[in-house]
A and B are shown apart, each in its own frame.
Chain A
């Protein structure tokens, strides 16, 4: 579905370049749920921005293969290099990226509006998505009138209104308190099971990783790379949290993490960290709270409008690339 090959990423433009990712190889299968977990500054958020096509790798490739079997050629689909955001990928950022000037319904319909869907069709789909996440009654409110958990639901609804095959989520539940968190984790699990998209979820919470990730990728400190995987085949059971295997799995992840967490967290540059809203960086149940620093560093570099907006002709990836 999605793969990263010998991926390197360095943030440039500031006094000294920051090497965020180093020699990262990863393949996510169709419909798989993968969780990224690791210490602060391991480049987890960067990896999601890369997967969304919003950043370009400094070296290496990101390839997508929407379906394994192509109906027309009766053969396996080829991997295609990702050069721009694709319409079938949804990204949910830490602060959800909701637009305060649009109502809940308009926010949910935004992706469809961007795809030039007819007004009636997009409003119907958006209403269905709002109903699916349980906030249909607030269609005409503005995001500022919603609680944190409801905004999270709205961000999910906006992605659900689209027919996506890859869902990328950056600490989606970090702004939500513990009780609500489990509730929303249940929702995330059900949605993933219903829709069958592949998902990559970044989290700081071990419990969340074990509840939602079929595979849990442990990332090292900066420059980040995946050092190990924890396989978690029992994911999918809504009662998994009450299972003894769940606790054992949490322990396994905690042990794997303790190997990569540096004793004193490599504290992020203050200037960058202070730019983030404090409430967004406070994460309960976490290793460290300032991981989004990478994201801020990126956004300071004004890459936002310098990336290609229109999709370029897609180049084929070499299928025989050896993993390093």
Chain B
């Protein structure tokens, strides 16, 4: 006699939220933060009372007036950051997974990594400018190298930390080495990968600003330094606002991809 065993056990808080709810909450968060920042900025500009720190309203007016100029610069900068982050990630993830799961590879590569990782990659800028010119290439290569190392170290460490029980149980199901990666190691590393991307996107924008300010005549970094040279501080702050906007776009894009890839973490 086959008896159906009754289910005992309580399902833990399964949240069923409306998808729009999250988006609305985030929007409200942005509006409140924006108001607070603008208020602080206004206050500071009154206290400092210097042409170098114009009032937000002047900067926003400048942003609107120079929009036809700023938008292409923003596009150029965003393009450079996104391409670099994608290239760096694509190169680093497979290598990090391989090194993290193979003690032999790790022994081989760890010294390379520890020598090269702490060097600020920005020191390579002069070399890259000489070799690759003043256009997109040196900036993309520089940011790619930076992202590559940050992602590589993170992915290697999280691949190392994958619970052996998960790997053993999947291997006992007959999984090949490739299937172990696909079903266990890669998904296990995803949360940390996105943390690394979020952190390194800040570094990427900083390096981009520096590279654009030093060489070339495109991108927000150039626009900001150009305004500074013209002593047009409101115009400069318009560029800074655009750069902040670029950061928001990057973070939100990374968050959106992460939410999609790691739905299980709800």
Interface residues of A (CB under 8 A from B): 49, 52-54, 85-87, 89-103, 110-111, 113-115, 133-135, 137-138, 141-142, 144-150, 153, 158, 162, 168, 179-180, 183, 186-187, 190, 194, 238, 299, 302, 304-305, 309-310
Number of interface residues of B (CB under 8 A): 40
CA distance A146 to B8 in the complex (A): 11
Instruction: Assess whether B131 is interfacial by the CB under 8 Å rule.
Output: no
Interface residues of B (CB under 8 A from A): 2-14, 101-103, 164-177, 179-180, 183-184, 187-188, 190, 262, 264, 266
- B150 CB to nearest chain A CB (Å): 23
Q: Which residue among B164, B173, B176 has the maximum number of chain A CB atoms within 10 Å of its CB?
A: B173
Partner of A93, one of B2, B9, B103, B165: B165
CA distance A96 to B168 in the complex (A): 10
Residues of B within 8 A of A147 (CB): 9-12
| Given A93-B165, A145-B12, residue A110 in contact with residue B7 (CB < 8 A) | no
Residues of A within 8 A of B188 (CB): 101
Residues of B within 8 A of A113 (CB): 183
Partner of A54, one of B14, B103, B171, B184: B171
Partner of B11, one of A52, A138, A305: A138
- Whether B177 and A93, one on each chain, are in contact in the complex, defined by CB atoms closer than 8 angstroms, is no
- Whether B7 and A85, one on each chain, are in contact in the complex, defined by CB atoms closer than 8 angstroms, is no
Residues of B within 8 A of A153 (CB): 7
- Whether A302 and B2, one on each chain, are in contact in the complex, defined by CB atoms closer than 8 angstroms, is no
Residues of B within 8 A of A114 (CB): 170, 173-176, 179, 183
Ranked 8 nearest A-B pairs via Cβ: A97-B169, A147-B9, A299-B164, A91-B172, A101-B187, A111-B173, A149-B9, A101-B264
Residues of B within 8 A of A180 (CB): 8-9
Residues of A within 8 A of B2 (CB): 190, 194
CA distance A150 to B262 in the complex (A): 22
Residues of B within 8 A of A86 (CB): 174
Residues of B within 8 A of A102 (CB): 183, 264
CA distance A141 to B188 in the complex (A): 18
- Whether B170 and A145, one on each chain, are in contact in the complex, defined by CB atoms closer than 8 angstroms, is no
CA distance A74 to B216 in the complex (A): 82
CA distance A190 to B159 in the complex (A): 39
